[in-house]
Structure 1
Amino acid sequence: MAPYRTLAVPDSLYRSMVWLDYRLAVLFTVGLPLVLLVWAAVRRERALVRLLGIYWKVASLLLVTVLLLTDRQPLGLAVAVVAQVLVLVCLWFWVDLNEELADLPSWRGLPLTVRIWRWAISFWAVLGALFSATALGCMDAARLESPRCAVWLQPPLELHRHVASLFAFIFGGQWTPAVAAFVGYLGLVAYAVGLLQWLLVRLPRQGRVAGEF
């Protein structure tokens, strides 16, 4: 039986949970880390800047997810699960950064805020990946149009509507779902190439040291 059918919750509640997941994603994966990156750069906290820089490189896969789902590409559902797992890993994997962060005074505002954010986004990533996995049964194109599956497309389509209006106002062109999906696939290929290069070259050489990630 498909995963989305085994989740015994009413459709209205499931829809609210999906929208809550997207809203939490905007808060924890875009809003807070952007503020923290600017804050860390202003304070010249190298360890924090490196951690947040790595985070943004990895979290870019979440944008690819949104671009794919904008054009109703079922692959976006699987990418969403992988993206959240990779976000969790990238925040805790690095031995050198973990040691540098542990040495920062816990009473200072910036290190304390980063610690709270790191734990909060880790909690969200675990729950978000598990929740997103309930939609993997929707990867069949025929099922993707069902009410329970279509709810995963609503937030990306709503975002696309605003982006398309802004794109048309600034550039005078059309930002269509097909264009969004094309850019998403290009980003996915580039991401996969970069990840493979890191796994095959840098990881064996550097181990769990962030280095020039």
Structure 2
Amino acid sequence: MQSELWLRSLVWTDYRLAVLFTVTVPLVLLVWAFVRKAEAIQKLLVIYWRVASLLVITLYLMIAALPISFISALLAQILIPLGLWFWADLNEEIREQPKSPLKFTLLAWRWAMTVYFALGAIAQVPFLSCAVTSQTSLLDRPFCRVWLEAPWGFKALFHAKTTPQFLGFLGIVGLVIYVLYLGHFVLYRLGKQGRSATIY
């Protein structure tokens, strides 16, 4: 019982940190970059939001208690830091910009995100067992079920009249589109453009 309370506390802390690091701060940075007309930072943050859309997809998959959501959660924790550092041209443009509060905040956020997601990916590995179980077993195991509580709270707040099954269907459709887009990028665009975001 004590271990369950401890795990629940850690999971809810993780969700709160996720709201701060993955939604609030990048949204502020994006608005700030548009106001300051910092194009390289704008482009990096637009790419970030595209990659980070996997977090929203995962949220909807978890609302429906679909085991695959644990795989998409881990994938998001790997892809998001990669997306923040991958683009050589954007990294160079940002590095060459004069010192400013915006540049400092962006760099601090990027490093914080990298550490946060690296630790999160390591912590997520034991929960991959939840991805290879049935939906019924997933709901019966407190070890797995604790990760679904925050998504269910989100549903109660924003989708009270919508069934979990329909939201899960939207999550599956979103995941299919995301995987197809990622596959297209890796198999076609990556070879053509390399680490340049110029034509992204």
Bucket of the pairwise TM-score, normalised by the shorter protein:
over 0.9
Cross-structure match for 1:146: 141
Q: If each structure's helix is expressed as a fraction of its own residues, which one has the higher value?
A: 2
Instruction: Output the aligned Cα RMSD.
Output: 1.2
Corresponding residue SS for 1:151? helix
Deviates more, 1:31-40 or 1:97-106: 97-106
Write out per-residue CA displacement over residues 40-85 of structure 1, whole angstroms, 9 at most, x where no aligned residue.
0111100000000000000000000000000100000110000110
Does the 8 Å CA contact 1:58/1:90 hold for their aligned counterparts? yes
Q: Which runs of 5+ in 2 are unaligned?
A: none
Verify: 1:136 aligned to 2:128, yes or no.
Answer: yes
Q: Which contiguous aligned blocks of 4+ residues in structure 1 show a shift greater than 3 angstroms?
A: none
> In the alignment, is the contact (CA less than 8 A) between 1:55 and 1:87 conserved in 2?
yes
C-alpha distance in 2 between matches for 1:49 and 1:117: 14
Q: How many residues align?
A: 196
Residue 40 of structure 2 corresponds to residue 53 of structure 1 = no
Contact 2:193–2:199 (Cα < 8 Å) also in 1: no
Percentage identity across paired residues of the two chains: 44
Structure 1 distance, partners of 2:35, 2:104, is 16
Checking the alignment, whether the CA contact within 8 Å between 1:37 and 1:52 is kept in structure 2 is yes
What's the TM-score, normalizing by structure 2?
0.94
What is the aligned partner in structure 2 of residue 168 from structure 1?
A: none
Residue aligning to 1:185: 172
Distance 1:148 1:190 in 2: 30
Q: Is the 2:40–2:90 Cα contact (8 Å) retained in structure 1?
A: yes
Deviates more, 1:145-154 or 1:54-63: 145-154
